[in-house]
Chain A
Amino acid sequence: MSVAGFIVIAFMLTTYVLLDGYDLGVAVIAPLVARTDRERSVAMASIGPFWNGNEVWLIAAGAALFALFPAAYAASFSGFYLPFVIVLWLLMFRGIALELREHLSSELWHQFWDVAFCASSVLLIFIFGLALGNLLRGVPVNPAGYFQGTFAFLLNPYAALVGCFAVATLAMHGAAFASMRIEGELGARALELLGQIWWAVLVFYVAVTALTIAMRTPLTAWWLIALPALSLLALLGARYNAQKLRPTATFAMSCVFVAVLLAASAATIFPYLLPGFPARSSGISIFQPPPSAVALSCALVVTLVGIVAVSIYSPIVWRRMAGKIRVE
């Protein structure tokens, strides 16, 4: 059951990155593709009805972690205290920017929130990447089951590289979404930009994959070859479809790429929620401390029922809002 819990959390976080990833990505590319005030409004409107629902996946994953693995929840959030609170501030700032921009029609007001929106999104993605990098690398957990992350420790070159990789990847993801959702020249420009970002993604991808394999995992299991190969295929597929001007297929490929990468990361960490540093075995695993069966099964039922329900009604609602939007 602990394993099921691990899979559920990994699934929820992956869904979060896929969904909120595109609206974060749109924020990154907006200043690059949207030239006029009106176009920037459209870029924001393309994610307007979705971002809050997307962000709930993060909140829900946090709550599920709390219910399933309280020790890991407590140790990670208190250990990453300052970076985490900064994430909270950025999330808040970004939400405020998104929601309040359209309430006034002053151009200065818009410019301020455009910059705030883009900057907070870039930083957020970078910090999420940094966190993932540190998870892959391991963090020093003390015998009482807590750890204290200093900035100096967390900002190591490997994790920073993962952070940059994350920014590039989600920028690509966002560009794919924008080209799918927005009609006309703006959408076309997003697709064009995707072709350029793609190279950066490729370079980071190769570097991060090589370093991760060198650092953590000798190439013994089949999936260590299969998963990176699959993600590379998806990445190539994204480029191919972008050149054929097929935004929906490009977005789908980008989703596969991101999902496979995250699955590979989860598989690398397993069975640890917080792998130790320098020795993995000193971390907090899903079996330690022994979780209570009633709590595990209750939280599993809640999350699974919830996931099924959300996957039924969200698409129904989204369909009502489907279709392209355009710059008028």
Chain B
Amino acid sequence: MDPVLADRLQFAFTIMFHYLFPIGTMGMAPFVAAYTWKAARDFDEESARIARFLTKIFAINFAAGVVTGIPMEFQFGTNWAAFSRRSGAVVGQPLAMESMFAFFLESVFLGALLYRRRRLPSIFSAWAAVFVCVGSWLSGFFIVATNAWMQHPVGFSIAPDGTIRLENIWALLFSPFLRWQFAHVLTGALVAGGFVVAGVGAYYLLSRREESIGRRLVRAGTIVALVFSLIAIFPTGDDNGRDVTAYQPIKLAAMEGLFETTHGAPLAIIGMPDAAGDHLIDPVFVPDLLSFLAYGNFRANVQGLNAYARELWPPVELTYYAYHVMVGLGTIFVAVAVLAVLLLRFGLLWNSRWMLWILMLMMPFPYIANEAGWTTTEVGRQPWIIYGLMRTAHGPSPTVAAGETVFTLIGFAGMYFLLGVLFLYLVLREIGIGPQEI
């Protein structure tokens, strides 16, 4: 196998698997913190039951996130040594911040949150939950800072031997690309958190047990899901798209399947890109809309893929489909959440079993949307590993053979299969047992 391909497959597989768990951590942490607070402050038994139940699921999710995160941190060195050597002085900074400022916070306070002697959580536990939440959001921030720099490098200079030197760390931490990317990533996780909580609640209502708790979960979950599905589109998704337009126009063209540079570019709602034949097969367009979304002007000029040499194109099909899956699902989330909140508002939700079914079945889809979003971002960045500075093909470790990577990739696949099965089994089992008496 081509060594670069082997490394890319391994990275893509391990990061996409890892990312499943941070979605849950960042999205559920505020729920855990909120219920723990309520239980500790109001001596409320039912909130304490919910808090303990969510904390259990959270802990399983967290453990899976930790064990899959450890290989990520070191893969830059094992598999991408040339990349690390050249850019480590920059890329290493936010990663070091993540460990020092976020991972310690999360792991020390999670230990405290899980270690509980009393029946009701104490104020100390409530604070611990808050710190766990802050820690997980911070780790999201720093890791996205790393990624945002790879998308749009800032605050650096290039030494005579080609290594990339750090000039200004604040430029990196306040990079224009980072702002909206982080806001959007966090929003995506909260959409997932909302739908998962609502889905679990819907399951209890459908199976007619724990109905009071079920209602509380559905109510909180759908409201969070509604608010953040809206924020996912506007402003965060919209502004993220503008940043891509400004800094990576070729990615935008691939995302939208726009082959020709056009004034008043249309937005393709559906259609299948034919990268070889340079057009969308069987498209449905909304005229001029893409120009408006990208530049706020219906007649603006949007650059198409043909404005660039082919060797600079990202894989068009994957970028295009991943983007459309994310946006399509995002639209569906808004529709579902609006409907659910309306039913809730008029007191009809508890009798609308069909809606509860929909809420329960929604649970996996925010995960798919999040993964699709990252696929758009990362695949659309190709052929660059650092946009405009370094090619992905020049990133892998010179001393590691493709055969070794294939071997470790198979090992990771086996390990993650086992972990995935165990994770699902244990989480579903906890949901089956339900919130216990305390």
Q: Chain A residues in contact with chain B, CB under 8 A?
A: 48-50, 52-53, 55-56, 59-60, 62-64, 66-68, 70-71, 73-79, 81-82, 84-85, 88-89, 91-93, 95-96, 99-100, 103, 144-148, 289, 291-292, 294-295, 298-299, 302-303, 305-307, 309-310, 313-314, 317, 320-321
Known contacts A60-B100, A147-B399, A292-B89; is A78 also within 8 Å of B77 by CB?
A: yes
Q: Which residues from chain B contact A50 at a C-beta distance below 8 Å?
A: 111
Is there an interface contact between A305 and B114, defined as CB atoms closer than 8 Å? no
Minimum CB–CB distance from B428 to chain A (whole Å) comes to 12
Number of A-B contacts (CB under 8 A): 216
Central interface residue in B79, B101, B399, by most chain A CB within 10 Å:
B399
Inter-chain contact B166/A298, CB cutoff 8 Å:
yes
Q: Does B404 contact A (CB under 8 A)?
A: yes
- Cβ–Cβ contact A88 & B89, under 8 A: no
Given A55-B70, A64-B96, A66-B95, 20 additional A-B pairs, CB 8 A: A49-B111, A56-B99, A56-B103, A63-B96, A63-B99, A70-B84, A75-B85, A77-B78, A81-B78, A89-B415, A144-B398, A146-B397, A146-B399, A294-B165, A302-B100, A302-B101, A303-B100, A307-B100, A317-B109, A321-B111
Pick the contact of B92 from A76, A299, A314 — CB < 8 Å? A299
Task: Give the complex CA separation of A306 and B70 in angstroms.
Answer: 19
- On chain A, the residues within 8 Å of B76 by CB distance are 66, 73
Q: Is the CB of B111 within 8 A of A77?
A: no
> What's the least CB distance linking A224 to chain B, in Å?
32
User: Is B115 in the interface zone, CB < 8 Å from A?
Assistant: yes
Q: Which residues of B contact A76 (CB under 8 A)?
A: 77
Q: How far is the CA of A217 from the CA of B93 in the complex (A)?
A: 35
Secondary structure class of chain A's binding surface, majority of residues: helix
Closest to B56 in A: A103
B88 touches A74 (CB 8 A): yes
Is B357 part of the binding interface, using a Cβ–Cβ cutoff of 8 Å?
Answer: no
Alpha-carbon gap, A100 to B159, bound state (A): 48
Report yes or no: A81 in contact with B98, Cβ–Cβ below 8 A. no
Q: Looking at the assembled complex, report how far the CB atom of B401 sits from the nearest CB atom of chain A, in whole angstroms.
A: 9
Q: For A75, what are the chain B residues with a Cβ–Cβ distance below 8 Å? A: 81, 85
Is B284 engaged at the interface, CB distance under 8 Å to the other chain? no
Q: Which residues does chain A contribute within 8 Å of B79, judged by CB atoms? A: 78
Distance of A306 Cα from B138 Cα, bound (Å): 14
In the complex the two chains form, is A81's CB within 8 Å of B101's CB? no
Q: By the criterion CB–CB under 8 Å, are B100 and A74 in contact?
A: no
For B361, the chain A residues whose CB sits under 8 A away are none
Contact residues, B173-204 vs A (CB, 8 A): none
Q: Can you spell out 28 A-B residue pairs with CB atoms less than 8 angstroms apart?
A: A48-B115, A52-B107, A56-B99, A59-B73, A60-B103, A62-B74, A66-B76, A67-B88, A67-B93, A74-B81, A74-B84, A78-B81, A78-B400, A79-B399, A81-B78, A81-B408, A88-B70, A88-B71, A95-B66, A103-B60, A146-B81, A295-B166, A303-B96, A306-B97, A306-B99, A306-B104, A310-B104, A313-B108
B296 within 8 A of A: no
Q: Does B124 contact A (CB under 8 A)?
A: yes
CA distance A78 to B76 in the complex (A): 9
Shortest beta-carbon distance, B119 to chain A, in Å?
17
